Copies of this chain bind each other. A is one copy, B any other.
Amino acid sequence: MNAPVSPVSRVWSGAGRRVHLQEVGTRDGLQVEERFVPTADKIDLVNRLSAAGLAKIEVTSFVSPKAIPQLRDAEIVLREIERRPGTVYTALVPNARGAERAIESRADELNLVMSASESHNLANLRMTRAQSFAALAQTAALARAAGVRVNVSLSCSFGCPMEGDVPEATVLGWCERFITELRADGVTLCDTTGMAWPTQVAALTAAFRARWPGSELTLHFHNTRGMGLANVLAGIDAGADRFDASFGGIGGCPYAPGATGNVCTEEIAHALALMGYDTGVDLALLLDAARCLPALIGHDIPSQLVKAGRRLDLHPRPADFEAIRGRALGR
């Protein structure tokens, strides 16, 4: 018997397969806004995102309030949000002090960050990668002692804006250390400045999955060069099922003024739902949350879907449609 010939990849048909969408907008988006979003509004946004069914929400960041005053209310926000059963509430922590604050505020998970590129790590975190890793180990130990999950995000996993290509072996080498030495519960490969392309995504995801089939892997893409959704689909095809995204598409790219940052949660959710994937997301509620943003941050948002509506949000026929038809048929 000949094997059936499938002309197209199975990636185009989700067939009910589960994809976890993880919201980063209240952290990665709001931290770069000029305007301070009032604490009550932040809590409302997170509650809306919970209700919309996101699998994980990066609620806030426990950085120094002096460094990022936009998130100086991290404790209050994380303590006062409604906790939806099944949703993981995570928080970015840059150091042990941040970890203590996040654990006290009942974070389900700490998200630690370093970069795959030495130049980016130095420029962004003012430490060598070796120093960052040592600091991460201390923070991870605090989390484990408190029974809190640890995720490690590796910036520049798909390229560095200063160094260019980052070898796959370098990326996988750091993943190895996160998984074996830090005993991380999850790893996120971050496309920090939108350098990932689908071929690379498929290859790196497949390589990660081959080495660590059971580890929780998240892919974090930016749409800086218009490849966001294509990269998500390449990741799915190679075995990834968790993706970060930002509602409204908020959060910029520091290296490209005016360019888009994070992929937009409602656009990814809309596309994946049409394709038959199970994201667990209630798109109407998610769009409602995104539509709150312009008033809170004081400017338009990158989301195309908020502007255009869902594909079957139809438009009325022109007011003179019957007259047009009558004239046409009278010819």
Contacts and interface: CB of A to CB of B under 8 A. Distances in A.
Contacts of A74: none
Contacts of A274: 197, 199-200
Nearest to A313: B161
B307 A257 contact: yes
B270 A225 contact: yes
Contacts of A317: 119, 123, 162
A164 B122 contact: no
Contact of A314 (B127, B162, B328): B162
A93 to B, nearest CB: 20
Interface string A49-92: 00000000000000000000000000000000000000000000
Q: Is the interface on chain A under 10, 10 to 19, 20 to 34, or 35 or more residues? A: 35 or more
B9 A237 contact: yes
A249 B3 CA distance: 42
B304 A226 contact: yes
Contacts of A163: 314
Interface stretch (A38-46, A149-157, A319-327): A319-327
Contacts of A14: 199
A276 B274 CA distance: 28
Contacts of A11: 9
A218 interface: no
Interface string A159-172: 10111110000000
A305 interface: yes
A223 interface: yes
Interface in A296-318: 300, 304-305, 307-312, 314-318
Nearest to A121: B328
Interface stretch (A19-27, A101-109, A174-182, A259-267): A259-267
Nearest to A197: B274
Contact of A8 (B159, B238, B258, B328): B238
A197 to B, nearest CB: 4
A194 interface: yes
A126 B324 contact: yes
A6 to B, nearest CB: 10
A146 to B, nearest CB: 27
A256 interface: yes
A11 to B, nearest CB: 6
Nearest to A227: B271
Contacts of A316: 162
Given A12-B202, A202-B8, A228-B226, A128 B328 contact: yes
Contacts of A300: 258
Contacts of A271: 197-198, 225-227, 230
A253 interface: yes
Nearest to A127: B328
A329 interface: yes
A318 B162 CA distance: 9
Interface in A205-241: 206, 209, 223-230, 233-234, 237-239
25 contacts: A3-B3, A7-B209, A7-B239, A8-B206, A8-B238, A9-B11, A9-B237, A12-B199, A14-B199, A119-B321, A122-B324, A122-B328, A123-B317, A123-B318, A128-B329, A161-B315, A194-B308, A197-B271, A197-B275, A225-B270, A226-B229, A226-B305, A227-B267, A256-B308, A260-B304
